Amino acid sequence: MERGYWIRSKPVYTSLLWHEKATSHLIVAQGQGGMAVLKLLQLMHPKQPITVLYTPQSDADYSKTLLKVVPEGLHILDTEEKILQKLDSTLHTLYMGMRLYIAGSEDFMWTVAKVANKFGIEDAGMMKELTGTLARPIYCVHCKAITHDVTTNIGKCSGCGRMLFVRDHFSRHLGAYMGLMVDAESPGDLPEIEEIYP
Amino acid sequence: MSMIDVKVAAVEQVTPLVKHFTFVRQDGLAFPAFSGGSHVVVSMNVGGRVFRNPYSLMGSPADTSAYHISVRKQEHSRGGSLFMHESIEVGSSLQITYPVNLFALAKKAHKHILIAGGIGITPFMSQLFDLHRLNANFELHYAYRSPEHGAFADQLKASYGSQLRCYTDSQGGRIDLLALLSKQPLGTHVYVCGPNPMVVAVIETAKNLGWPDNTIHSEQFLSPGVGEPFKIHLKKSEIEVHVPADMSMLEAIELAGVEADYLCRGGVCGRCEVDVLESDGALLHHDHFLTDAEKASGKKIMPCVSRARCQKLVLDL
Ligand code: FES
């Protein structure tokens, strides 16, 4: 990418930090994101009620430590699907003033964001920390399918099988980066495929 | 700035202090459509001196045959509202700007809490049409001094009954903001328009509870207070302009024949911002637009409401 050039649509992630002003805190984390939760709790145990939804991954499981450290409201669930269900039912019980924190892969964070969006929570109201991997969700501009966890500069579309060049343009609505067919001009003529989002 | 010539089609005394004016176009055409919360700036020629005051449009946004505004007589006003009350009658001619919306409803909100104090009800009047049409979930909390000052309260009760709560100060009615804002479902947005202490209280309460900034909306046009006279130098136009005690910098600049941008003329929109190139005294910032840091830097000023106390002030105009 051109130096000094910054794509506006590209989300900026930070480290999780407590919102001082809040009525309650809801933290949703996946795999390595468990470390972000631990870091957060190192900073402070807030006086408002907290809920932590965590799904461990085979290569990153902080369940044991979280069980020791999280004072209340910890739910460890083994699949993303269960986490999203729990998130949905939890959001039903919370009021304005709830602060949402998310830690995990981009794919995970934007999947969580989509559930929160349904409750009228906008992106500006969520804090996100990218952990574990730079793997990108890609949506194919040709067939609209979303391919998850793409770690290379060029990835194969899970929908139509086209080879897609992974752009930096991000759609918050879809929660994915744009993928454009790379060999449209001369089919089969592919640049070298390299892992750049490990 | 392009203006629309209007004629006053009706005037109604709504409360002892509030008058409602209906405008139609001089050229008989339809008005531009607008969205709830929009305002226009009404230009009045008061004995040769031009006043331009912002007023919220309060009719139905779907009705383009007439525009409606309400004006509260300001006891200590410099003249604009007094002129509207005392000199404008059916058949009078005025000029207005095209509508601008600085207080729009959040489209993605799941619920809207509207909080009005006194004449602050006006921007909500048009928003209510939109909310009603969209079948949106909303509540209106309307506070006023005493029963006779509750402008449009009866009309609102008839139209929105259970979604409306009125608070009459003289009868001890107070909005319990903490209770109101503590138990709102996710996706709620709050809107406030009214006197300064009320606006500040709503914003503070919501923020302290942890409502995200983008869910808190307020509108509060300031009027360009009176102050000491001072002089400014306009660099690009190469002229000196005297700002009298009862005129804003923006008015004085316009009077000198220099075109300056504006939208709200009340220190909130940011459109009139100008760069201060030089100054040897204090800038008296009255606006709600610049950040504290920008105000302290002394490099920018909002001429619609702010003033200065200095011998020399050079503006990039
Ligand atoms: S005109 Fe809006 S801030 Fe001055």
Is B211–A94 a contact, with Cβ atoms under 8 angstroms apart? no
CATH topology of domain B230-315: Ubiquitin-like (UB roll) (3.10.20)
pLDDT in tens, B153-172: 999 999 998 999 999 999 99
Instruction: List, as own/partner pairs, every contact residues B245-251 make where C-beta atoms lie below 8 angstroms and the sequence separation is at least 24, other chains included.
Output: B246/B78, B248/B224, B248/B303, B248/B304, B248/B305, B248/B307, B249/B301, B249/B303, B249/B304, B249/B306, B249/B307, B249/B308, B250/B224, B250/B303, B250/B304, B251/B50, B251/B51, B251/B52, B251/B224
E-assigned strands of B81-187? 93-97, 100-101, 111-117, 138-144, 164-168
- For position B185, what pLDDT does the model report? 97
Let me know whether A39 and A60 are in one domain. yes
Ligand 1 within 6 A of CB of B283: no
Min Cα separation B181/chain A (Å):
8
Let me know whether A82 and A148 are in one domain. no
Segments forming the whole domain that contains residue A96: 24-130
User: Which amino acid type is present at position B81?
Assistant: S
Whether A192 maps to a domain, the answer reads no
pLDDT in tens, B260-307: 999 999 999 999 999 999 999 899 999 999 999 999 999 999 999 999
Q: Could you tell me how many CB contacts below 8 A there are between chain A and chain B?
A: 56
Name the residue of chain B whose CA is nearest to A91's CA.
B186
Above pLDDT 70, what percent of chain B? 100
Let me know whether A105 and A151 are in one domain. no
CA separation for the pair B52, A191 (Å, rounded): 63
CATH of segment(s) B111-219: 3.40.50.80
Point out the ligand 1 atom lying closest to the alpha carbon of residue B263: 1
| Mean pLDDT for all residues in chain B | 94
Point out the ligand 1 atom lying closest to the alpha carbon of residue B262: 1
DSSP β-bridge partners for residue A11? none
pLDDT in tens, A28-67: 999 999 999 999 999 999 999 999 999 999 999 999 999 9
CATH of segment(s) B3-101: 2.40.30.10
Let me know whether A106 and A171 are in one domain. no
Set of chain A residues whose Cβ sits within 8 Å of the Cβ of B109 = 120
Q: Which residues of B touch A (CB under 8 A)?
A: 108-111, 181-188, 206-215
Question: In total, how many domains does chain A have?
Answer: 2
Let me know whether A98 and A144 are in one domain. no
Set of chain A residues whose Cβ sits within 8 Å of the Cβ of B214 = 122, 124-125
The yes-or-no verdict on residue B238 having pLDDT over 80 is yes
pLDDT in tens, A101-123: 999 999 999 999 999 999 999 88
Query: Testing the interface with A: which of B113, B180, B184, B186 to mutate, by most A Cβ within 10 A?
Result: B186
pLDDT in tens, B203-213: 999 999 999 99
The yes-or-no verdict on residue B47 having pLDDT over 90 is no
DSSP label at residue B110: S
Let me know whether A122 and A31 are in one domain. yes
Whether A190 maps to a domain, the answer reads no
Whether A98 maps to a domain, the answer reads yes
Set of chain A residues whose Cβ sits within 8 Å of the Cβ of B210 = 19, 21-23, 96-99
CA separation for the pair B172, B170 (Å, rounded): 6
Domain boundary among A89, A105, A130: A130
Ligand 1 within 6 A of CB of B225: no
Ligand 1 within 6 A of CB of B263: yes
Which residue in B109, B182, B208 is closest to A120 by CB distance?
Answer: B109
Cα–Cα separations (whole angstroms), residue B132 to B108, B181, B300, B308, B316 = 16, 22, 41, 45, 46
Whole-structure pTM value? 0.90
Q: Where are the domains of chain B?
A: 3-101, 111-219, 230-315
| Mean pLDDT for all residues in chain A | 92
Min Cα separation A166/chain B (Å):
30
Span B123-141, average pLDDT = 96
CA separation for the pair B313, B235 (Å, rounded): 10
Whether A11 maps to a domain, the answer reads no
Q: Are B180 and B167 in contact (CB under 8 A)?
A: no
